[in-house]
Amino acid sequence: MNTEVDMKDVELNELDPEKQPMTGDGQAVSGEKNGSVKVKVPKEEVAFTGLSKEELMKVAGTPMWVRTRWVLLILFWLGWAGMLAGAIAIIVQAPRCKPIPDMKWWNEGPLYQISDAEAFADGLAGIEKKLDVVNQLKVKGLVLGPLHTVQADQPNTLNLKQIDPNQGSEKDLITVLEKAHKKGISVVLDLTPNYPGASPWFGSSDLNDVIDSVQAAAEHWLNLGVDGIKISDLATASNAGDLSRLLAVVKGNDTEEDTKKKLLMGVAEGVSPGELSQLLNTSGADLVLSDLLSAKGQGVERINVLNALHSEQRSVAWGLGATQREQLSKRAASRALIRLYQLLLFTLPGTPVFSYGDEIGLQMQGEKAPKMVWDLDKDPSAEGAAVNETTKAEREEYAAVRKWFKSLSDLRGKERSLLYGDYYPLQSSASSLAFLRLWDQSERFVTAVNWGDASETLQLTLVPTGSEEVALPKTATVKLSTDPEMEVDSSVDLDKITLKPGQGVLLQFPY
């Protein structure tokens, strides 16, 4: 009976294999039995939940943790108070920065005078094309003209609103103004009435009428965008005429919100330092161009001029030839002296004024305005032009002088001591002088020049005149030099500086 039951189970298993268990005779490759399923049951992980609130409060209330918290709190506030006290001590003990003086645009860089637009670039239209080159000189203003029409010593021919056709047109001037302003260059127009004649204002009997004409013309040109007006012989106009109406026109559009003021610039020739100082205070002019450096040829005289006027430096402009609308080369007998006088003008306290061509040492041809030389970086021989060795050497020298000029102009615009620093005389003789320029916590500069025909040893002596303590170090570094043997970045003893004939040097030492 049991046998029959077993046989039936076998038959059923053979007929219905799906009901058979999944077993096999052999082992699987992995060692597991065929058909068996291995299930991994993850172990139960016990997460750390930390102390409960009750437990934490119980531990935090122990005496040890109470004392620890108080110690940490006290250390935090002591550290904070210490840092605050240290910061206050640093602020109190640190030297105060000197406030920057009130600077106008004409104090921020050199002025570039173009008295003859035709000789400079074939008229006003040519000036507009050359503004990119002029802008490389870092000038802050152009002084144009005189451009108006007049016959020498004939007041009835004066027309201050009419531009001489040889110089250009009003449209050309407007184009120059627009492009110059885009480059940050201001434009001053010279309205000296009788510029080709014997007296800038004709005769004394014509003075007030001519001033009225200048006033009307100034209003016209200022409305067209000119940034300032220049007149010559300021002493005569101020002492014998009425400049109040001209001043009112120039200053009429200025407001407190205006960042760019209009300039009234005058020229003073043949006056003493004392008379120039009085003129600055009574004429109402913003800037006065003086010929004192040209009139005083000795170093002692020039130092005395600087001593008398350095406190009014933001109202004084210096030129060597610019007062007479002439080139610097007329007063510099050599290329070395041209570099020397450029160095002197750029580092003096006051605004340097140059005539066109001074940046290359352009030589005058008699009394006629010299033709400007352009494209110094180009080699004419490469374009097939015949150039002799003399002309080639001259062009190379022009380029070298221009590079020197640009270095000085760039330096003056960057260094506070040269831009608006104090002035201290150090030494002077018949043919040499030296002075110090410094401003607060900035690099200091010593200018030393010798325009004589013999070498000279300068012994620098500093006698401070203000309350600020100033002292010279034992040595200084050569920043710029006209003497190739005084290499840039070399060290020089300030006790004695020996300069060769016609040589100058700019020295630098730190605050």
Residue 326, pLDDT score: 93
Residue 36 has pLDDT above 60, yes or no: no
Instruction: Give the separation between CA 292 and CA 276, rounded to whole angstroms.
Output: 9
| Backbone angles phi and psi of 504, in degrees to 5 | -145, 160
Residue 10, pLDDT score: 46
168 dihedral zone (left: phi>0; alpha: psi -120 to 50; beta): left
Residue 69, pLDDT score: 83
Instruction: Give the separation between CA 451 and CA 482, rounded to whole angstroms.
Output: 12
Question: What mean pLDDT is predicted for residues 162-174?
Answer: 96
Residue 384 has pLDDT above 70, yes or no: no
**Cβ-contact 174, 181 below 8 angstroms:** no
Instruction: Give the separation between CA 1 and CA 97, rounded to whole angstroms.
Output: 122
**Cβ-contact 443, 433 below 8 angstroms:** no
Which has more confidence, 474 or 15?
Answer: 474
* Angle at which helices 335-347 and 389-414 cross, to 10°: 10
pTM score:
0.81
Instruction: Give the separation between CA 481 and CA 506, rounded to whole angstroms.
Output: 6
Question: Quick one: which H or E segment has residue 336?
Answer: helix 335-347
Give the pLDDT band of residue 275 (cuts 50, 70, 90): very high
* 322-356 tens-digit pLDDT: 999 999 999 898 889 999 999 999 999 999 999 99
Q: Where is average pLDDT lowest: 125-139, 257-271, 476-490?
A: 257-271
Q: Give domain limits for the chain.
A: 64-96, 106-414, 425-509
Residue 192 has pLDDT above 90, yes or no: yes
153 dihedral zone (left: phi>0; alpha: psi -120 to 50; beta): left
What torsion, rounded to 10 degrees, do the Cα atoms 418, 419, 421, 424 define? 40
| Backbone angles phi and psi of 114, in degrees to 5 | -115, 95
Instruction: Give the three-class secondary structure for 320.
Output: coil
Instruction: Give the separation between CA 193 and CA 232, rounded to whole angstroms.
Output: 9
Residue 28 has pLDDT above 50, yes or no: no
Q: Please provide the size of the chain in residues.
A: 511
Residue 362, pLDDT score: 94
Residue that is written with structure tokens 């590079």 in the block: 403
Q: How far is CA 127 from CA 58, 105, 130, 323, in A?
A: 90, 21, 5, 21
* 401-435 tens-digit pLDDT: 999 999 999 999 999 999 999 999 999 999 999 99
Q: What percent of the chain has pLDDT over 70?
A: 85
Question: What mean pLDDT is predicted for residues 240-254?
Answer: 84
Cis peptide before 146 (omega within 30 of 0): yes
**Cβ-contact 129, 121 below 8 angstroms:** yes
**CA 13 and chain centroid, separation:** 106
Instruction: Give the separation between CA 144 and CA 127, rounded to whole angstroms.
Output: 10
CATH class of the domain whose range is 425-509: mainly beta
Give the pLDDT band of residue 2 (cuts 50, 70, 90): very low
Q: What does the angle CA 42 – CA 47 – CA 53 come to, to the nearest 5 degrees?
A: 160
Q: Please, where are the H alpha helices in 101-243?
A: 117-121, 124-135, 170-182, 207-223, 234-240
Return the closest-CA partner of residue 173 out of 221, 141, 134, 228: 221
Which has more confidence, 77 or 95?
Answer: 77
Give the pLDDT band of residue 498 (cuts 50, 70, 90): very high
Residue that is written with structure tokens 């970045």 in the block: 489
Does domain 106-414 correspond to CATH entry 2.60.40.3710?
no
Q: Where is average pLDDT lowest: 50-64, 156-170, 226-240?
A: 50-64
What's the first-to-final CA gap in the chain, in angstroms? 124
Residue 203, pLDDT score: 87
Return the closest-CA partner of residue 105 out of 228, 236, 251, 275: 228
**Cβ-contact 279, 238 below 8 angstroms:** yes
Q: How far is CA 267 from CA 140, 150, 282, in A?
A: 19, 20, 14
Instruction: Give the separation between CA 246 and CA 197, rounded to whole angstroms.
Output: 22
Return the closest-CA partner of residue 345 out of 498, 453, 506, 231: 506
Residue at 178: amino acid letter: E
Taking all residues of the chain, what is their mean pLDDT, rounded to a whole number?
A: 87
Instruction: Give the separation between CA 473 and CA 363, rounded to whole angstroms.
Output: 40
